[in-house]
């Protein structure tokens, strides 16, 4: 029997030697990040309805398509290690298709995926170099809301504090100064985020 201890993936930090790369391109993309049940998707949809140019989370679109094909969420989630590679590549493909100078709001950035990698036994450092292809303009991290299962989230995702802590840590490790968006009523959160974006010197965002 192999007695070599298995690595504790849940506590793997980003390799500091791989964090010394320069970003290839600076963008005008603004990330709405956060743990499961943080309300990202709802907020992104409201921002889109308000007039902002947004992009949905590729991972959720993938899950929706697989369910339409007749697969159950349980079947899809049984392949979690493979899913982390699929989700990462979908996010990378999305970002490669976007113009750098266009003001965009993204539902998640690449570093959001690292906590899921840890949770499901994938070393996030295998994706780290690709974080330096694009630099986001701002990163807003939503404080978690009370957890609600929606069929997509793994029961382990109830450990929202774990995700919240690591997502924040990963963005900071990559040199981002993140802004915390507290829990508040939805309309108040929307106004809070709009004011934050306007306060970044971005000018008038809405027509």
Q: Which two tokens stand for residue 16?
A: 């500091």
Write down the pLDDT at residue 74: 80
Residue 37 CA, distance from chain mean position = 12
**Residues 27, 137 contacting (CB under 8 angstroms):** yes
Mean pLDDT of 173-182: 94
Domain boundaries, the chain: 21-198
Q: Are strands 25-26 and 134-135 parallel, antiparallel or unpaired?
A: parallel
pLDDT in tens, 154-176: 554 567 888 999 999 999 999 99
Confidence of residue 138 (pLDDT cuts 50, 70, 90): very high
**CATH architecture, domain defined by 21-198:** 3-Layer(aba) Sandwich (3.40)
Write down the pLDDT at residue 118: 93
**Residues 60, 152 contacting (CB under 8 angstroms):** yes
Mean pLDDT of 104-133: 93
Q: Which two tokens stand for residue 113?
A: 């995926």
Tell the residue number behind the tokens 């990698």, with chain if given: 117
The angle formed by the CA atoms of residues 199, 111 and 126, to the nearest 5 degrees, is 155
């Amino acid at each position: 029997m192999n007695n070599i201890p298995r690595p504790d993936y849940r506590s793997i930090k980003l390799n500091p030697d791989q964090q010394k790369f320069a970003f290839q391109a600076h963008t005008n993309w603004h990330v709405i990040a956060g743990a499961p049940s943080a309300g990202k998707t709802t907020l992104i949809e409201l921002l889109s309805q308000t007039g902002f140019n947004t992009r949905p989370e590729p991972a959720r679109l993938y899950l929706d398509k697989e369910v339409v094909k007749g697969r159950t969420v349980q079947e899809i989630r049984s392949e979690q290690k493979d899913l982390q590679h699929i989700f990462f590549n979908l996010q990378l493909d999305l970002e490669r298709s976007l113009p750098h100078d266009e003001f965009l709001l993204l539902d998640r950035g690449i570093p959001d995926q690292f906590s899921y990698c840890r949770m499901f036994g994938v070393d996030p450092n295998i994706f780290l170099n690709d974080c330096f292809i694009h630099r986001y303009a701002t990163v807003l991290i939503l404080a978690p809301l009370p957890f609600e299962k929606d069929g997509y989230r793994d029961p382990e995702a109830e450990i929202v504090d774990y995700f919240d802590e690591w997502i924040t840590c990963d963005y900071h490790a990559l040199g981002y100064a993140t802004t915390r968006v507290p829990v508040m009523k939805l309309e108040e959160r929307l106004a809070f985020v709009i004011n934050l974006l306007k306060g970044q010197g971005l000018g008038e965002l809405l027509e």
